[in-house]
Amino acid sequence: MRGTNNTLVLPSLYGSIALSALILLSIWYLSSLHRLRHIPGPFLNSLSILPMQHMTRGGKLSFMLKDLGDKYGPLVRVGLNEVLFGDPDTYRKISAVRSDFTKGPWYALAKVVPDQDSLFSMRDDDLRKEYRTKLSPGYAGRENGGFEPGVDRIVAQFVNLVETNDEFGFGKLMGMAKNLADKKLAAASDENNMVQQHLRNGVTYKELLAEIFLELIAGSDSTATAVRMTMLCLLNTPSSLNALRHEMDQGIAQGRISSPIRDLEARQLPYLQAVIREGIRMYPPSTGLNYKQVAKGGTQLHGQFLPEGTQMGVNIQQLMRSKDTFGCDADVFRPERWLEAAAEDDDCFRDMCGVVDLAFGHGRFQCLGKTIAAMELNKIFIELFRRFDFAVVTPQEPLKLYDAAFWVTTDFWLRRLSRFEDVSPVCNCDAQHTHVPVVTGNVAQQEPVTAICADGPHIRLHAPIFAPRLGGEELDAVPQYLHFPLTNSLNIIHDTGTEFGGNPDASAALIVSIPEGSFGYGEMIDTNMGPGGNIQR
């Protein structure tokens, strides 16, 4: 009888515990729903983490969150206890040196070495401050002779890789750069390199491994993203690329640009600086939400009370593409906005610069490698474009882009053309030319601006632009972007691989104009060259 009673009591006890746990969980869940009910946002997000997980899986999270910010305002509730902000003042308040916000549990995801925090993943404020003090001298470069010679060597190696490969992908080359960096950091025989300096300042070997591992992932990839996406924006905006080249060529001719370009010289080139800032603005290297935790007692932001423990994340695309800060065309890559602001409104220009600087963090959370990254960007574009022209191999889908706190980019393939060796002069021969009309959309223009030379694979362009070779391996089936400055039109030229005018030595060319604001080109190609014939690509 006694055993029977015990048998009956145990299930009853377990049931009571389970019921109590369920009640406590329900109370916690309802209180979580209740405490942020005044913050606007999608209803489903306030109930569960599942909507955010679904958005993340699509690879376009930062753009989707920007849309939410545009819809709901400066504060958006995106989870049970998560709120996003998208304005610079809140960013600076949260990250200020004397701020009482702390890093939230989100940073545990950045712990790349299981039993050792890096500076980025470290959440304890006192430990972070002490550790940052040890690392800062190494990143300042004052004790190891500065970083510029080392950056010059890496840029030169990168340019050499481009020069010795006809086709390359930036993703593959940046992977090679990571290997080079790894070897450099591992070779600690030089007492003045950054590794030895960190060790002298009290960083342990285990801590050093965590920092190196993080830098190889976050440091190199963030710079690679800035290079890749700025390159793509320039290649898709020929007027901007031409303006950058003009500033560069003029600087070289006037002796204001050395070889390699010095960091100080690059900072004196206004259009280059505008291009770099605009590239970072359009595609900030890190899109992580970087949740900070509201301290005890709560805080007031935008007239709303945020209770203790609320996780505050940055809506980076809302911040970088704010129409209030950057104008009504904030979603467009246009470096000229920086020159206009600098000439017309100093306060506006400073505000714009201040916002883009937030891409590298602020205050006690600012990236220690910001100066090195800026130096790399100041050099890489000049050293590439002074030597090469580039064309996107697959302009209909130039790359695959996935947003995962950092931009994961694949299949970004460019065709490299030497500016001096692969560019043929405009044909000046006396042979008879057969004219081909320029096609704009579906309308063949009456006045042709192009002629195919009958005695060889040349193209003659009655406009002040370069004339690439046709008919050879260089351009076989690879579309090339051309820009007509007189009409400010972007064009694509194709070597069709077709005889033209019955001449086996001539090659037919098809030129297609891309309407302003278009991103694709395939649907705009019109193979009907007018009443006289049809050229098939």
pLDDT at 264: 96
Which of these ranges, 141-150, 180-189, 350-359, has the smallest mean pLDDT? 180-189
pLDDT at 4: 52
Which contiguous run of DSSP H or E holds residue 245?
A: helix 238-253
Per-residue pLDDT tens over the stretch 462-517: 322 223 333 333 333 333 333 333 333 444 444 334 333 333 333 334 333 333 33
Q: Work out whether strand 423-424 and strand 467-468 pair parallel, antiparallel, or are unpaired.
A: antiparallel
Mean local confidence (pLDDT), 384-402: 86
pLDDT at 96: 95
pLDDT at 83 over 80: yes
> Any idea what DSSP says for residue 533?
-
Tell me the β-bridge partners of 83: 77, 312
Alpha-carbon gap, residue 222 to 284, rounded angstroms: 8
Contact 104, 291 (CB under 8 A): yes
Local confidence band at 446 (pLDDT 50, 70, 90 cut-offs): very low
pLDDT at 23: 67
Signed CA dihedral, 145, 147, 152, 157: sign only: positive
Domain boundaries, the chain: 123-287+329-389, 423-524
pLDDT at 431 over 60: no
pLDDT at 15: 67
Per-residue pLDDT tens over the stretch 281-314: 999 999 999 999 999 999 999 999 999 999 999 9
Q: Is 217 exposed, middle or buried (0-12, 13-18, 19+ CB in 10 A)?
A: middle
Which of these ranges, 207-221, 260-274, 331-345, 449-463, has the smallest mean pLDDT? 449-463
Local confidence band at 405 (pLDDT 50, 70, 90 cut-offs): confident
- Give the three-state DSSP class for 28: helix
Mean local confidence (pLDDT), 207-222: 74
Burial 435-461 (b: 16+ CB within 10 A, else e): ebbbbbeeebeeebbbbbbbebbbbbb
Angle made by CA atoms 365, 331, 346, in degrees to the nearest 5: 65
Instruction: Compute the mean pLDDT over every residue in the chain, rounded to the nearest whole number.
Output: 73
**Joined tokens for residue 517:** 């604001």
Supply the pTM of this predicted model. Answer: 0.71
Alpha-carbon gap, residue 510 to 436, rounded angstroms: 8
Sheet holding 509-514, edge to edge: 443-444, 439-440, 509-514, 489-495, 480-484
pLDDT at 413 over 50: yes
- Give the three-state DSSP class for 83: strand
Alpha-carbon gap, residue 405 to 403, rounded angstroms: 6
Angle made by CA atoms 49, 53, 55, in degrees to the nearest 5: 120
Which of these ranges, 64-68, 337-341, 351-355, 399-403, has the smallest mean pLDDT? 399-403
Q: Is 329 exposed, middle or buried (0-12, 13-18, 19+ CB in 10 A)?
A: exposed
CB within 8 A of 228, min separation 6: which ones?
A: 170, 171, 174, 399, 407, 409, 412
At how many degrees (to 10) do helices 270-282 and 346-357 cross? 50
Q: Work out whether strand 311-314 and strand 82-85 pair parallel, antiparallel, or are unpaired.
A: parallel
pLDDT at 112: 74
Alpha-carbon gap, residue 280 to 293, rounded angstroms: 27
Provide CATH code, domain 123-287+329-389: 1.10.630.10
pLDDT at 190 over 70: no
pLDDT at 22 over 80: no
Local confidence band at 46 (pLDDT 50, 70, 90 cut-offs): confident
- Higher-confidence residue of 306 and 120: namely 306
Per-residue pLDDT tens over the stretch 229-274: 999 999 989 889 989 999 999 999 899 999 899 999 999 999 999 9
Which contiguous run of DSSP H or E holds residue 240?
A: helix 238-253
- Binding site annotation covers 367? yes
> Any idea what DSSP says for residue 437?
P
pLDDT at 144: 56
**Joined tokens for residue 299:** 């805080």
